[in-house]
Structure 1
């Protein structure tokens, strides 16, 4: 199989595999706030410490059932897209491993998208850049906000705060913590590594 096809497949599989390891908030009330239980083994440096983040009450949002945090393996994306890859992510001089692809409000069956909202459609550059450590493409930040974030019932600041909190709670398996690994990865091994690392995550597929 050509490297390009393999890299694309690995990226797709990584996205699907990590998507089924759900950071979920089962909604009990539209205005409910939630304090997630601490998860040990967080390996990613964040702008806010985990201890501080765990103490924060974040708005849950409304109009959906669960959140799905979708991650992608950056080396696969950069290798597959080559010169077409996002420069902020692939040519910044900073290597990335797993990055956030999106935080998706979901129904038990299906999902809302492109919802009407009184919030601005564009994400301010200053806010998008605050996410650069976990979501390095400002274009993707705006795209995900329009397609998914607008359906969360939250303002932009709150939606991206929930996204960061979700990422803070993901424990990356040791074999995938170094972003300079070759882009080709085994999707099944990747999935099993995450299930073993975070046994509390339930599989949905």
Structure 2
């Protein structure tokens, strides 16, 4: 037995490499997750440091795209996949700044997630835009001018009212630190709303009420 343990240990890096290669293969995933950030919360934690123009006073931006992420049914996801598709040019990322906030954010989303879609950069950016345009943003959030304490189910209900194809089973809210930061929608590869799996719903906000920061 003492001889078998070192031999088995020597194989572990091989097994790990094979697992990582399978997870990070471009185009090998089950569905998408459309992540929408509440921009005031994003600005408070990250956007201000990145000089994101959406964080400027008077921008009055509420929900906006964070990214469109390939996901697996078991709850894991591929990242930084190897792909034969070329990276987007500076011009291409600059053209996506209205969607992602900055050209750098557009590059990051392609590099980390878009590579795994199996699409070209241009196709991936078009898909993200189509996913975003397929979701109606509830007008109730347009006038938030002070800190509000709201339950995650209230936010979800507003999105469901504006998008009849959504249900609470298709939405996952995120509230790290007690602030509503993100809302994530489970979509099929054809961008149709679908129920989120248990691995995703276990990570949703469990607070009875969280802080919704005011628009800038």
For structure 2, list consecutive stretches of 5 or more residues without a partner in the other structure: 1-25, 170-195, 202-216
State the 1:170 CA deviation.
0.5
- SS of the aligned residue for 1:62 comes to coil
Work out whether 1:91 is the aligned partner of 2:56.
Answer: yes
Determine the C-alpha separation between the residues in 2 that align with 1:100 and 1:82.
Answer: 13
What's 1:126 paired with? 91
Query: CA contact under 8 A between 1:74 and 1:99: conserved in structure 2?
Result: yes
Q: Is residue 75–residue 183 contact of structure 1 (8 Å, CA) maintained in 2?
A: no
Shift of 1:126: 1.9
- Out of 116, 119, 134, which is 1:151 matched to? 116
Q: What's the TM-score, normalizing by structure 2?
A: 0.57
User: Any idea what the Cα deviations from partners look like across 1:130-186, whole Å, max 9, x if unmatched?
Assistant: 2233211222211111111000000000000000001111111111235x6446563
By percentage of residues, which structure has more strand? 2
Confirm whether residue 116 of structure 1 aligns to residue 82 of structure 2: yes
**Could you say what the CA RMSD is over the residues aligned between the two structures, in angstroms?**
2.5
Higher relative contact order (CA 8 A, sep 6+): 1
Give the 3-state SS of the residue equivalent to 2:97 in structure 1.
coil
The one-character-per-residue Cα deviations of 1:58-95 (angstroms, maximum 9, x if unpaired) are xxx93221111111011122234485253333238644
